[in-house]
């Protein structure tokens, strides 16, 4: 008589694993739109934009170049640097507010492009904070040994959400994508801590009103441009400085570190005045911050991801260095991560 199979023992005491970023990648579209180009669209000037934001140009994707396309190119660069194949990826997380479509997820489109047949896929919607939210989610899956290799992407085609007649917002945003491969790396601390926060009381200061079930898109509200980004600039600036400073201080405290221990700080690339205010309040010199917003503007969830890759590839961090990433976005949402490289 055949013996009935015995149930497997549950994994009650799975040891946690450290999680490291083992590869980064980024991609920006070829088309460059300068401040001089915007002078032809709205009443503005290069001096006005640079003085108030620090932005000089931004990249704009081609009409047939989608969020998933840019994300896949950044992902391939990260995979190449990490030395892994698509079949090794267990999970794909795409942080975006400009998905290819409402569903399926942009992560599924990326999966198809790169051939990651073994991966589970879903998107993260946390505006500009999305990449760090996704890093923390990836860390939990790897620490628990649910997955071994996670691909995290921040990718945005914000040019499709911008009101190109609004001089206060159209000068700020651009398109692009960044990616990271996360794995356990023996003998490395990797991601030491991630702090996340939200405050829905400020959900009305940075948003896109149309396109969801509250305001389904109709001919009338398209003409009202409700399917474009709306922002209360002064309030966003105030909240960004406050919560990014809080996020930085909290993450450093959780990690048992001080600002002077950091080799590099990579902030959300939205406005150089915000970064300057944070640097002053942290008493950290600006040369410790990695800044590329003058070339790309604010690319939302892709912002810190692209900056991380450029900082990595330019040698700003070496093995063992402590790096702080800080982000802020609509929601309100914010996050910070301390990583030992």
Catalytic positions, please? 128, 268, 298
Residue from 115, 39, 104 nearest 67 by CA: 104
Work out the number of other CB atoms within 10 angstroms of the CB of residue 215. Answer: 14
Residue from 315, 318, 328 nearest 267 by CA: 328
Residue from 89, 87, 76 nearest 24 by CA: 76
Taking the chain, what is the end-to-end CA distance rounded to the nearest angstrom? 57
Helix H segments across the chain?
35-38, 46-53, 67-82, 106-114, 130-143, 219-223, 233-255, 272-282, 293-296, 303-313
Contact 162, 173 (CB under 8 A): yes
How far is 55 from 38, CA to CA, in rounded Å?
A: 12
Residue from 297, 235, 249, 306 nearest 272 by CA: 297
Residue 128 β-bridge partners: none
Query: 233-255 and 272-282 helices cross at what angle (nearest 10)?
Result: 40
How far is 69 from 98, CA to CA, in rounded Å?
A: 12
Question: What is the DSSP code (8-state) at residue 173?
Answer: B
């Amino acid at each position: 008589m055949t013996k009935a199979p015995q149930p497997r023992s549950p994994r009650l005491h799975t040891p946690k694993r450290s999680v490291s970023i083992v590869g980064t990648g980024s991609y920006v579209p070829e088309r460059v739109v300068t401040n001089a180009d915007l002078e032809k669209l709205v009443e503005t000037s290069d001096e006005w934009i640079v003085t108030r934001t620090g932005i000089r140009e931004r990249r704009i994707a081609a009409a047939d170049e989608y969020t998933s396309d840019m994300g896949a190119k950044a992902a391939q660069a990260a995979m190449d640097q990490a030395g892994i194949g698509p079949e090794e990826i267990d999970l794909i997380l795409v942080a975006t507010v400009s998905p290819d479509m409402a569903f399926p997820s942009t992560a599924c489109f990326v999966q198809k492009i790169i051939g990651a047949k073994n991966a589970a896929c879903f998107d993260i919607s946390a505006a500009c904070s999305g990449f760090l939210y996704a890093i923390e989610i990836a860390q939990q899956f790897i620490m628990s040994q649910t997955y071994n290799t996670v691909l995290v992407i921040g990718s945005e085609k914000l040019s499709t959400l911008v009101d190109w007649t609004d001089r206060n917002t159209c000068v700020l945003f651009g398109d692009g994508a960044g990616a990271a491969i996360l794995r356990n790396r023996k003998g490395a601390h990797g991601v030491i801590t991630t702090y996340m926060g939200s405050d829905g009381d400020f959900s009305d200061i940075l948003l896109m009103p149309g396109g969801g079930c509250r305001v389904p898109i109709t001919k009338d509200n398209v003409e009202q441009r409700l399917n474009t980004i709306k922002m209360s600039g002064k309030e966003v600036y105030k909240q960004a400085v406050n919560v990014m400073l809080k996020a930085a201080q909290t993450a450093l405290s959780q990690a048992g570190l001080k600002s002077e221990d950091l080799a590099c700080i990579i902030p959300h690339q939205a406005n150089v005045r915000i970064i300057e205010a944070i640097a002053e309040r942290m008493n950290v010199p600006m040369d410790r911050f990695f800044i590329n917003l003058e070339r790309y503007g604010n690319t939302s969830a892709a912002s810190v991801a692209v900056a991380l890759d450029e900082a990595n590839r330019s040698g700003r961090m070496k093995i063992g260095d402590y790096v702080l990433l800080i982000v802020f976005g609509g929601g309100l949402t914010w996050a910070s991560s301390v990583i030992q490289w």
